Amino acid sequence: MPSSTVENYLKQIYLEQQPLGGSDLVPMGRLATAMAVTPGTATTMIKALAEANLVTYEPRTGVRLTKAGEQLALHVLRRHRLVELFLVKVLGLDWSEVHDEAEHLEHAVSDKVLERIDAYLGHPSVDPHGDPIPTSKGKVTPQKLQSLAECDLNQPLRIARIADQEPAFLQFLHRSGLIPGVALTIQSRDPHADSVLLKLANKSPLSLGTAAAAKILVEPA
Protein backbone atom coordinates (compact mmCIF):
# COMPACT_ATOMS: atom_id res chain seq x y z
CA MET A 1 0.00 0.00 0.00
CA PRO A 2 1.21 3.51 -0.80
CA SER A 3 1.89 5.79 2.18
CA SER A 4 -0.32 8.81 2.63
CA THR A 5 2.64 10.96 1.56
CA VAL A 6 2.80 9.11 -1.75
CA GLU A 7 -0.96 9.46 -2.15
CA ASN A 8 -0.68 13.19 -1.58
CA TYR A 9 2.07 13.64 -4.14
CA LEU A 10 0.13 11.70 -6.77
CA LYS A 11 -3.07 13.60 -6.07
CA GLN A 12 -1.25 16.89 -6.29
CA ILE A 13 0.46 16.02 -9.55
CA TYR A 14 -2.93 15.10 -10.98
CA LEU A 15 -4.45 18.39 -9.84
CA GLU A 16 -1.53 20.42 -11.21
CA GLN A 17 -1.62 18.49 -14.46
CA GLN A 18 -5.28 19.32 -15.20
CA PRO A 19 -5.21 23.11 -15.72
CA LEU A 20 -2.02 22.65 -17.75
CA GLY A 21 -4.24 21.14 -20.39
CA GLY A 22 -4.35 17.41 -19.96
CA SER A 23 -1.12 15.48 -19.84
CA ASP A 24 1.57 18.13 -19.69
CA LEU A 25 4.67 17.91 -17.56
CA VAL A 26 4.31 19.50 -14.14
CA PRO A 27 7.42 21.54 -13.28
CA MET A 28 9.14 20.46 -10.06
CA GLY A 29 9.01 23.94 -8.57
CA ARG A 30 5.26 24.10 -8.92
CA LEU A 31 4.89 20.71 -7.29
CA ALA A 32 7.25 21.55 -4.44
CA THR A 33 5.29 24.74 -3.73
CA ALA A 34 1.96 22.93 -3.84
CA MET A 35 3.24 20.26 -1.46
CA ALA A 36 4.83 22.87 0.80
CA VAL A 37 8.22 21.15 0.78
CA THR A 38 11.67 22.30 -0.34
CA PRO A 39 12.57 21.59 -3.98
CA GLY A 40 15.13 19.00 -2.90
CA THR A 41 12.49 17.02 -1.04
CA ALA A 42 10.25 16.94 -4.09
CA THR A 43 13.12 15.79 -6.31
CA THR A 44 13.90 12.90 -3.95
CA MET A 45 10.28 11.85 -3.71
CA ILE A 46 9.68 12.04 -7.45
CA LYS A 47 12.72 9.88 -8.15
CA ALA A 48 11.22 7.25 -5.87
CA LEU A 49 7.82 7.51 -7.57
CA ALA A 50 9.48 7.16 -10.97
CA GLU A 51 11.29 4.06 -9.67
CA ALA A 52 7.87 2.65 -8.74
CA ASN A 53 6.50 3.48 -12.22
CA LEU A 54 3.90 5.85 -10.87
CA VAL A 55 5.30 8.87 -12.72
CA THR A 56 7.65 9.61 -15.60
CA TYR A 57 10.33 12.07 -14.64
CA GLU A 58 12.38 14.28 -16.90
CA PRO A 59 15.07 15.97 -14.80
CA ARG A 60 14.97 19.76 -14.89
CA THR A 61 11.79 19.63 -16.90
CA GLY A 62 9.01 18.05 -14.88
CA VAL A 63 6.91 15.10 -13.96
CA ARG A 64 3.84 13.37 -15.39
CA LEU A 65 1.62 10.59 -14.02
CA THR A 66 1.76 7.17 -15.63
CA LYS A 67 -1.50 5.23 -16.13
CA ALA A 68 -0.89 3.46 -12.82
CA GLY A 69 -0.12 6.74 -11.05
CA GLU A 70 -3.21 8.37 -12.48
CA GLN A 71 -5.44 5.52 -11.34
CA LEU A 72 -4.06 5.84 -7.84
CA ALA A 73 -4.50 9.62 -7.89
CA LEU A 74 -8.09 9.26 -9.03
CA HIS A 75 -8.78 6.74 -6.30
CA VAL A 76 -7.50 9.19 -3.70
CA LEU A 77 -9.56 11.97 -5.25
CA ARG A 78 -12.64 9.76 -5.14
CA ARG A 79 -12.11 9.14 -1.44
CA HIS A 80 -11.53 12.83 -0.82
CA ARG A 81 -14.62 14.04 -2.63
CA LEU A 82 -16.99 11.36 -1.36
CA VAL A 83 -15.84 12.08 2.18
CA GLU A 84 -16.42 15.81 1.64
CA LEU A 85 -19.94 15.24 0.43
CA PHE A 86 -20.65 12.82 3.26
CA LEU A 87 -19.48 15.32 5.86
CA VAL A 88 -21.76 18.01 4.40
CA LYS A 89 -24.82 15.91 3.65
CA VAL A 90 -24.83 13.54 6.61
CA LEU A 91 -22.94 15.24 9.42
CA GLY A 92 -23.98 18.76 8.45
CA LEU A 93 -20.53 20.29 8.32
CA ASP A 94 -19.99 23.55 6.59
CA TRP A 95 -19.12 23.68 2.91
CA SER A 96 -16.04 25.72 3.69
CA GLU A 97 -14.48 23.43 6.27
CA VAL A 98 -14.80 19.95 4.80
CA HIS A 99 -11.76 20.15 2.55
CA ASP A 100 -9.29 20.11 5.42
CA GLU A 101 -11.18 17.34 7.23
CA ALA A 102 -11.23 15.21 4.10
CA GLU A 103 -7.52 15.79 3.64
CA HIS A 104 -6.95 13.56 6.67
CA LEU A 105 -9.81 11.11 6.25
CA GLU A 106 -9.01 10.31 2.61
CA HIS A 107 -6.05 8.23 3.79
CA ALA A 108 -7.93 6.29 6.47
CA VAL A 109 -11.09 5.21 4.64
CA SER A 110 -11.07 1.64 3.36
CA ASP A 111 -12.59 0.62 0.04
CA LYS A 112 -15.39 -1.13 1.88
CA VAL A 113 -16.36 1.95 3.87
CA LEU A 114 -15.96 4.12 0.80
CA GLU A 115 -18.43 2.08 -1.24
CA ARG A 116 -20.91 2.19 1.66
CA ILE A 117 -20.60 5.97 1.72
CA ASP A 118 -21.05 6.09 -2.05
CA ALA A 119 -24.22 3.98 -1.83
CA TYR A 120 -25.54 5.95 1.16
CA LEU A 121 -25.23 9.16 -0.89
CA GLY A 122 -26.87 7.56 -3.93
CA HIS A 123 -23.75 7.37 -6.12
CA PRO A 124 -23.29 11.13 -6.50
CA SER A 125 -21.32 12.59 -9.40
CA VAL A 126 -20.02 15.79 -7.83
CA ASP A 127 -18.82 16.91 -4.40
CA PRO A 128 -20.07 19.98 -2.47
CA HIS A 129 -17.83 22.27 -4.55
CA GLY A 130 -19.01 20.79 -7.83
CA ASP A 131 -15.77 18.86 -8.36
CA PRO A 132 -16.48 15.61 -10.22
CA ILE A 133 -16.17 12.37 -8.26
CA PRO A 134 -14.19 9.68 -10.13
CA THR A 135 -15.87 6.29 -10.35
CA SER A 136 -14.49 3.31 -8.45
CA LYS A 137 -12.93 2.25 -11.76
CA GLY A 138 -11.07 5.56 -12.00
CA LYS A 139 -13.13 7.33 -14.66
CA VAL A 140 -13.99 11.03 -14.53
CA THR A 141 -16.70 12.41 -16.80
CA PRO A 142 -15.07 15.52 -18.26
CA GLN A 143 -16.93 18.72 -17.49
CA LYS A 144 -17.02 21.42 -20.16
CA LEU A 145 -17.48 24.51 -18.06
CA GLN A 146 -16.58 28.15 -18.56
CA SER A 147 -15.59 30.53 -15.82
CA LEU A 148 -17.36 33.79 -15.04
CA ALA A 149 -14.23 35.54 -16.31
CA GLU A 150 -14.67 34.26 -19.85
CA CYS A 151 -18.29 33.38 -20.73
CA ASP A 152 -20.86 35.44 -22.62
CA LEU A 153 -22.86 38.33 -21.20
CA ASN A 154 -26.61 38.29 -20.57
CA GLN A 155 -26.96 34.52 -20.90
CA PRO A 156 -28.83 32.49 -18.27
CA LEU A 157 -26.12 30.60 -16.36
CA ARG A 158 -25.94 28.21 -13.44
CA ILE A 159 -23.00 27.86 -11.06
CA ALA A 160 -21.56 24.37 -11.47
CA ARG A 161 -18.27 24.36 -9.64
CA ILE A 162 -15.91 26.37 -7.45
CA ALA A 163 -12.28 25.86 -8.37
CA ASP A 164 -10.82 26.84 -5.00
CA GLN A 165 -10.84 25.29 -1.53
CA GLU A 166 -9.88 28.29 0.61
CA PRO A 167 -12.29 28.35 3.58
CA ALA A 168 -12.35 32.17 3.67
CA PHE A 169 -13.18 32.43 -0.04
CA LEU A 170 -15.84 29.74 0.24
CA GLN A 171 -17.40 31.50 3.21
CA PHE A 172 -17.53 34.72 1.20
CA LEU A 173 -19.24 32.90 -1.67
CA HIS A 174 -21.75 31.39 0.71
CA ARG A 175 -22.58 34.79 2.19
CA SER A 176 -23.02 36.15 -1.33
CA GLY A 177 -25.23 33.28 -2.44
CA LEU A 178 -22.71 32.09 -5.02
CA ILE A 179 -23.06 28.36 -4.48
CA PRO A 180 -23.35 25.50 -6.98
CA GLY A 181 -26.83 25.28 -8.54
CA VAL A 182 -27.60 29.00 -8.29
CA ALA A 183 -28.79 30.79 -11.46
CA LEU A 184 -27.31 34.09 -12.60
CA THR A 185 -26.37 36.24 -15.58
CA ILE A 186 -23.37 38.43 -16.26
CA GLN A 187 -24.49 42.01 -16.75
CA SER A 188 -21.18 43.48 -17.80
CA ARG A 189 -17.44 42.99 -17.72
CA ASP A 190 -14.86 45.76 -17.45
CA PRO A 191 -11.28 44.71 -18.31
CA HIS A 192 -9.84 48.02 -17.13
CA ALA A 193 -11.51 47.87 -13.77
CA ASP A 194 -10.68 44.14 -13.69
CA SER A 195 -14.24 43.35 -12.62
CA VAL A 196 -17.39 41.45 -13.52
CA LEU A 197 -20.92 42.54 -12.63
CA LEU A 198 -23.29 39.69 -11.74
CA LYS A 199 -27.06 39.53 -11.30
CA LEU A 200 -28.65 36.82 -9.19
CA ALA A 201 -32.42 36.36 -9.00
CA ASN A 202 -34.00 38.49 -6.23
CA LYS A 203 -30.69 40.13 -5.38
CA SER A 204 -29.01 43.40 -6.13
CA PRO A 205 -26.12 43.28 -8.62
CA LEU A 206 -22.79 42.02 -7.31
CA SER A 207 -19.32 42.97 -8.49
CA LEU A 208 -16.43 40.50 -8.51
CA GLY A 209 -12.74 40.83 -9.37
CA THR A 210 -11.52 38.80 -12.35
CA ALA A 211 -9.36 36.55 -10.18
CA ALA A 212 -12.40 35.57 -8.10
CA ALA A 213 -14.65 35.29 -11.16
CA ALA A 214 -12.16 32.90 -12.77
CA LYS A 215 -12.65 30.47 -9.88
CA ILE A 216 -16.41 30.25 -10.42
CA LEU A 217 -17.30 27.81 -13.17
CA VAL A 218 -20.71 27.88 -14.81
CA GLU A 219 -22.82 26.07 -17.39
CA PRO A 220 -25.71 27.37 -19.55
CA ALA A 221 -28.93 27.25 -17.50
**Would you tell me which residues interact with a copy of itself (CB under 8 A)?**
87, 90-93, 97, 101, 104-105, 107-110, 112-113, 116-117, 120
| 153 and 134 Cβ atoms separated by less than 8 Å | no
Residue 148 interacting partner from DNA, a copy of itself, none (CB closer than 5 to 8 Å by kind) = none
d(CA 191, CA 172): 23
Q: With 0-12 CB in 10 A as exposed, 13-18 as middle and 19+ as buried, what is 168?
A: exposed
How far apart, in Å, do the first and last CA atoms of the chain sit?
A: 43
Residue 55 C-beta: closest distance to a copy of itself, Å: 26
Residue 40 interacting partner from a copy of itself, DNA, none (CB closer than 5 to 8 Å by kind) = DNA
Residue 72 interacting partner from a copy of itself, DNA, none (CB closer than 5 to 8 Å by kind) = none
For a copy of itself, give the closer residue by CB, 17 or 96.
Answer: 96
- Contact segment (CB under 7 A) with DNA among 43-51, 86-94, 127-135, 211-219 equals 43-51
Residue 39 C-beta: closest distance to DNA, Å: 3
| DSSP-based three-state secondary structure for 41 | helix
Q: Could you give the dihedral angle defined by the CA atoms of residues 6, 9, 15 and 17, in that order, rounded to the nearest 10 degrees? A: -110
State whether the Cα torsion 173-176-177-183 is positive or negative: negative
DSSP-derived secondary structure for 121-155: TTS-SB-TTSPBPPPTTS--PPP--EETTTSPTT-
For DNA, give the closer residue by CB, 79 or 129.
Answer: 79
Q: Is 5 in the site for DNA (CB under 7 A)?
A: yes
d(CA 107, CA 7): 8
Site pattern 62..101 for DNA (x: CB under 7 A) = x---------------------------------------
Interacting residues toward DNA by CB under 7 A: 3, 5-6, 27-30, 35-48, 57, 59-60, 62
